Structure 1
């Protein structure tokens, strides 16, 4: 176990606040969960409908207890609403690596710049507080919206894992694209470039 993340980690700027996901957040996320089915098109673990959302959160909280994940709920300060969730996962602080994903937002908040604010806060915490050397991102290779979003924050494509894993509810298997940001890249130019876009999107 790397860490139990028992401390209350809150990341925020003038646009968003990320706080640890809680069991009670079912109520905060249920509207998106039930009414926006396209959110789960490429998800391997779906949080559509109340029972699935409860299970989704329970799995995330158990992984946090085991020091493997750090899940957040995302609060949009402009609207005063909870708008989605994201997390660090596959955390291995002995190797100084982790993955960033399980990210989803209500459709009204996609393409608004909110994601860049979230990613800036998360990457800054990963590299500057946790001291990791590498943050990895993965997505279904058909999920062009997600891939474009990752590239826009400074991720570099490493390659594609062909026929990597099954898709939910289908016999078809998916190709998984792997992207990453390294610590040296963060401090060299990714941080500054990403930060420069925040004022434009705010």
Structure 2
């Protein structure tokens, strides 16, 4: 199957709760405060955006990878609070195997635990599996990041295992990465309805 994915197209995903739109260079002015004021957001990340310069580099890297066609980054807008909340990214986009990874996801502290992430993931899963027709979404995260592990499992994703010492933390030490996934068949058969119910009923 030939997937129709255009790195230059402005994909906008939204429901009554949240909007995801493509990240732009000018979004630095919106996001820099998260880098300066909330350094704890970057504890488990692969790229340290915990400063103005760090956030600038973070955005530049995301857009460079998008230009190459291997990533596509969204900025997240909370429609209820009328505030920008964070960012999320499709990356390692493989148009041959019809797989991609979903990550580099972060939200400011006030948006965590509000249900925002489930709305974002529902829109993203629907977009990836139903509009673009990819077959698999993979998540990789620091194996010590228990909060994110619980959040990803709650979306209906399956834990696959641990990649030992497969990358560097921002402090230069090595990390083990947990791998989880969800595939198109299970999304269409059951996981979509389960996640929709969680969003609807809390």
On whether the aligned pair clears a TM of 0.5, the verdict is yes
Secondary structure of residue in 1 paired with 2:104: strand
Kindly indicate whether the alpha-carbon contact (under 8 Å) linking 1:4 and 1:64 is maintained by their aligned counterparts in 2: no
**Aligned partners of 2:53 and 2:182: how far apart in 1?**
35
Kindly indicate whether the alpha-carbon contact (under 8 Å) linking 1:3 and 1:67 is maintained by their aligned counterparts in 2: no
- 2:25 corresponds in structure 1 to 23
Secondary structure of residue in 2 paired with 1:161: strand
Structure 1 residues 38-64: Cα deviation after superposition (integer angstroms, max 9, x where no partner): 100001101111111111101101111
- 1:187 corresponds in structure 2 to 188
Q: Which 4+ runs in 1 deviate beyond 2 A? A: none
The alpha-carbon deviation at position 162 of structure 1 amounts to: 1.1
Secondary structure of residue in 2 paired with 1:90: strand
- Choose the corresponding residue for 2:116, options 114, 117, 124: 114
Unaligned runs of 5+ in 2: none
Q: Which residues of 2 match residues 59-138 of structure 1 at below 5 A?
A: 59-138=61-140
Kindly indicate whether the alpha-carbon contact (under 8 Å) linking 2:5 and 2:132 is maintained by their aligned counterparts in 1: no
Q: Which residues of 2 match residues 156-195 of structure 1 at below 5 A?
A: 156-170=158-172, 172-195=173-196
Secondary structure of residue in 2 paired with 1:128: helix
- 1:46 corresponds in structure 2 to 48
The alpha-carbon deviation at position 192 of structure 1 amounts to: 0.4
The alpha-carbon deviation at position 200 of structure 1 amounts to: 2.7
- Aligned length in residues: 199
Structure 1 residues 52-86: Cα deviation after superposition (integer angstroms, max 9, x where no partner): 11111011011111110010000000111111000
**Aligned partners of 1:200 and 1:87: how far apart in 2?**
27
Kindly indicate whether the alpha-carbon contact (under 8 Å) linking 1:156 and 1:180 is maintained by their aligned counterparts in 2: yes
RMSD: 1.1
- 1:146 corresponds in structure 2 to 148
Unaligned runs of 5+ in 1: none
**Aligned partners of 1:143 and 1:63: how far apart in 2?**
25
